[in-house]
């Protein structure tokens, strides 16, 4: 009796089991973060109406896109296209997750060369850039007349502002963040990784403890010792101080423009950075954002066509609604609204002086290293800057120790 029941069970299960197969559809799945997803959703609707191909936009946190893509793509659950930053290239291409893009010279001529360079890894293009970002030096014109020429001037000016009681603080930095420290470091001749003959980052040449880097951190150490930097300043606190008029100068990126404008504080985005002791202007890191096609996509040709013939074309003007605002334009123009666009016609069309200034501040920018060794650098480098800000280490000690940590890790198995 029992055997019969179990036999029947197996039979039914086998029959049911043969119905399990899925079939492929003409559909594009895109992963985007919360700032791009609304625009892409609208573009997708337009695309579907025009061409009958559904575009499904799935929203993830920016960092989550990269992390989850690694698991989802090989499992066949991944998207066709992801939005991401150029410094993901090293890890993603190395794992065979991205599809190389072969595109026309004429088509690529529309994009900022630095942005394309960012999405090129081992001489192969892996992404279509839509925006670039870099930090710039901002000041409050009611407190500071013009961009100080040197960081020493920034120091002196800060002291003066505080002494005269014009504002609570002069220049204020985000405590440990090395990304925002980089323009100061480079102004004094410091660097993180040097370049090899081909102009690629050379992981053998670590510059965290180079003379220039230590000089920059020493400048900062003196600034902190002079009592000019308040305690426990994170991104949020720094902005609150600036927006309340309590801080006269900061270094921040275009992503913060929204909140600064809302606060109503007068501000100027400086197109240049102050110079270091040796007369070198500071260079920020350049980040590039763009579209990448998954090598596990079942619709690669479609994905590429969507990007080149729809997103980056000027055939179809689309209307999107973001918040209460309705905007009309070509897709690339709409994608590049809150950052300097990587698409040259859109960049030239954007007359917003702040974005122009950000673009100028980024002309000399160094691309954020996409080499995997960078992963070993961030925490140690940041910790060193934090320790000096908190007054627990001297500049020379902090960077020497940090460099030792990084070298140990890079040499580790």
Our CB check for other proteins shows the closer of 28 and 268 to be: 28
How far, in Å, CA of 255 to CA of 234, rounded? 16
DSSP state of 167: S
Min CB(272)–other proteins separation in Å: 23
Min CB(148)–other proteins separation in Å: 24
Our CB check for other proteins shows the closer of 175 and 221 to be: 175
Assigned token pair, 128: 């279509």
Min CB(228)–other proteins separation in Å: 13
Our CB check for other proteins shows the closer of 113 and 391 to be: 391
Strands, E assignment, 229-281: 247-252, 268-270
Give backbone dihedrals phi and psi of 85, rounded to 5 degrees, phi first.
-100, 155
How far, in Å, CA of 171 to CA of 25, rounded? 56
How far, in Å, CA of 82 to CA of 67, rounded? 12
DSSP 336-364: TSSS-BSBHHHHHH---HHHHHHHHHTTT
> How many residues are present in the chain?
413
Point out which residues pair with 288 in neighbouring strands.
Answer: 132
Distance of CA 61 to the CA centre of its chain: 13
Our CB check for other proteins shows the closer of 117 and 390 to be: 390
Our CB check for other proteins shows the closer of 120 and 390 to be: 390
How far, in Å, CA of 172 to CA of 281, rounded? 19
Our CB check for other proteins shows the closer of 157 and 293 to be: 293
Our CB check for other proteins shows the closer of 187 and 303 to be: 303
Q: Which has the closest alpha carbon to 363: 284, 252, 279, 267? A: 284
Consecutive H or E run containing 288: strand 285-293
How far, in Å, CA of 42 to CA of 101, rounded? 25
How far, in Å, CA of 78 to CA of 294, rounded? 8
How far, in Å, CA of 77 to CA of 68, rounded? 10
Point out which residues pair with 195 in neighbouring strands.
Answer: 201
Our CB check for other proteins shows the closer of 153 and 309 to be: 309
Our CB check for other proteins shows the closer of 151 and 296 to be: 296
Min CB(285)–other proteins separation in Å: 14
How far, in Å, CA of 132 to CA of 222, rounded? 33
Min CB(333)–other proteins separation in Å: 21
Q: Is there a contact between 79 and 294 (Cβ–Cβ < 8 Å)?
A: yes
Min CB(202)–other proteins separation in Å: 11
Min CB(262)–other proteins separation in Å: 8
Min CB(270)–other proteins separation in Å: 19
Min CB(275)–other proteins separation in Å: 27
Our CB check for other proteins shows the closer of 79 and 148 to be: 79
Min CB(136)–other proteins separation in Å: 14
Q: Is there a contact between 131 and 342 (Cβ–Cβ < 8 Å)?
A: yes
Assigned token pair, 245: 């008029």
């Amino acid at each position: 009796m029992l055997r019969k029941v179990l036999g029947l069970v197996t039979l039914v299960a086998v029959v049911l089991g043969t119905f399990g197969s899925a079939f492929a559809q003409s559909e594009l799945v895109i992963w985007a973060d919360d700032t791009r997803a609304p625009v892409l959703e609208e573009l997708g609707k337009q695309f579907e109406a025009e061409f009958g191909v559904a575009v499904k936009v799935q929203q993830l946190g920016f960092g989550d896109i990269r992390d989850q893509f690694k698991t989802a793509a090989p499992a066949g659950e991944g998207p066709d296209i992801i939005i991401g930053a150029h410094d993901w290239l090293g890890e993603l291409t190395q794992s065979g997750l991205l599809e190389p893009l072969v595109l026309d010279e004429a088509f690529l001529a529309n994009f900022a060369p630095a942005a394309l360079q960012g999405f090129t890894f081992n001489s192969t293009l892996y992404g279509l850039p839509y925006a670039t970002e870099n930090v710039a030096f901002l000041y409050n014109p009611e407190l500071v007349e013009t961009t100080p020429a040197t960081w020493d001037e920034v120091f002196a000016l800060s002291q003066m502002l505080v002494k005269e009681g014009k504002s609570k603080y002069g220049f204020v930095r985000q405590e440990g963040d090395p990304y925002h420290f980089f323009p100061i470091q480079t102004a004094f001749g410091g660097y993180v990784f040097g370049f090899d003959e081909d102009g690629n980052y050379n992981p053998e040449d670590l510059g965290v403890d180079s003379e220039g880097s230590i000089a920059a951190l020493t400048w900062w150490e003196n600034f902190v010792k002079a009592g000019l930097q308040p305690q426990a300043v994170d991104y949020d606190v720094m902005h609150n101080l600036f927006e309340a008029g309590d801080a006269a100068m900061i270094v921040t990126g275009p992503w913060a423009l929204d909140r600064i404008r809302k606060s109503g504080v007068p501000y100027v985005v400086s197109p240049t950075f102050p110079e270091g002791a040796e007369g070198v202007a500071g260079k920020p890191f350049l980040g590039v954002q763009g579209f990448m096609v998954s090598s596990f996509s079942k619709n690669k040709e479609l994905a590429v066509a969507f990007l080149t013939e729809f997103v980056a074309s000027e055939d179809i003007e689309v209307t999107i609604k973001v918040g209460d605002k309705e905007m009309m334009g070509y897709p690339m123009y709409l994608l590049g609204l809150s950052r300097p666009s990587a698409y040259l016609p859109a960049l030239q069309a954007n007359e917003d002086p702040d974005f122009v200034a950000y673009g100028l501040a980024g002309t000399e920018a160094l691309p954020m290293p996409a080499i995997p060794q960078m992963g070993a650098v961030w925490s140690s480098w940041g910790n060193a800057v934090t320790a000096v800000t908190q007054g627990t280490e001297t500049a020379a000690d902090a960077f020497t120790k940090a460099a030792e940590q990084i070298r140990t890790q890079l040499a580790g198995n």
